[in-house]
């Protein structure tokens, strides 16, 4: 059984994602010390929050986290956890982790934030055997990638990227822990993927 370390950097939804991962067969635990991420089997960067606030606790460990991701340790970034994988954001000051090249930008849509269920068109095996492509979204920004890491998109007043993969790191703009059976199917796939990386 893979042990997934959920980073607690002061955002919400930690209980929901932990419970969902446990239902999917993982041993999940919440960790407040960013240094502990470096020795974790698998990292989960959860998310409801603002870019700058989220990066405050991680910034001192940024270089070390990048080395860990480059080494192939599996990681899943969710919503803001996906956005901080990029270099910077229109939402706030300071750099992100910079693992993926690009900038987080505001949605160009008539209604922002993008709230509710929407479909995801994803070509990656992480979406294998998911009953339906609909997932729950709650965001105003998204990662605008400047390298070939986009594996899934969503249409909301125009198409934008919502699933990213680089190495063994995935980022998703939707919330699998709020996406019912589809979200659990996605998380089961990620848990299996992480187990295969051991």
For 67-123, the pLDDT digits (tens) are 999 999 999 999 999 999 999 999 988 999 999 999 999 999 999 999 999 999 999
- Is there a catalytic annotation at residue 79? yes
For residues 24 and 4, what is the distance between their CA atoms, to the nearest angstrom? 11
Considering 5, 24, 139, 177, which one is annotated as catalytic?
Answer: 177
Q: pLDDT band for 26, please (50, 70, 90 cuts).
A: very high
pLDDT of 12 > 90? The answer is no
Write down the pLDDT at residue 10: 82
Residue 54 tokens read as 């989220």
| Average model confidence (pLDDT) across the chain | 96
pLDDT of 11 > 80? The answer is no
In this structure, are strands 102-106 and 121-122 parallel, antiparallel, or unpaired? Answer: unpaired
In this structure, are strands 75-78 and 88-89 parallel, antiparallel, or unpaired? Answer: unpaired
Write down the pLDDT at residue 6: 96
Considering 24, 75, 79, 122, which one is annotated as catalytic?
Answer: 79
- Helices 180-196/14-23 angle, 10° precision: 70
- Is there a catalytic annotation at residue 147? no
In this structure, are strands 121-122 and 150-155 parallel, antiparallel, or unpaired? Answer: antiparallel
**Residues contacting 192, CB < 8 A, separation 6+:** none
Q: Nearest-5° angle of CA 122, CA 128, CA 132?
A: 70
State the average pLDDT over residues 159-163: 98
Write down the pLDDT at residue 48: 79
Write the CATH number of the domain with boundaries 3-196: 3.40.50.880
- Is there a catalytic annotation at residue 15? no
Residue percentage of the chain with pLDDT more than 70: 99
Write down the pLDDT at residue 179: 98
């Amino acid at each position: 059984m893979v042990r997934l370390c959920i980073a607690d950097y002061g955002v919400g939804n930690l209980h929901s994602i932990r419970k969902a991962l446990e239902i999917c067969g993982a041993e999940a635990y919440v960790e407040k010390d960013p240094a502990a991420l470096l020795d974790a089997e698998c990292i989960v960067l959860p998310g409801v929050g603002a870019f700058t606030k989220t990066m405050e606790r991680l910034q001192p460990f940024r270089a070390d986290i990048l080395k860990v991701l480059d080494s192939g340790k599996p990681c899943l970034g969710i919503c803001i956890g996906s956005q901080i994988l990029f270099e910077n954001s229109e939402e706030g000051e300071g750099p992100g982790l910079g693992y993926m090249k690009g900038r987080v930008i505001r949605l160009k849509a008539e209604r922002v934030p993008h709230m509710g269920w929407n479909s995801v068109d994803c070509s990656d095996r992480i979406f294998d055997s998911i009953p339906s492509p609909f997932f729950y979204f709650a965001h105003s920004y998204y990662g605008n990638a400047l390298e070939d890491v986009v594996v899934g998109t969503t249409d909301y007043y125009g198409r934008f990227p919502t699933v990213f993969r680089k190495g063994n790191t995935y980022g998703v703009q939707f919330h699998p822990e709020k996406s019912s059976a589809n979200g659990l199917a996605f998380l089961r796939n990620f848990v299996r993927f992480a187990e295969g990386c051991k």
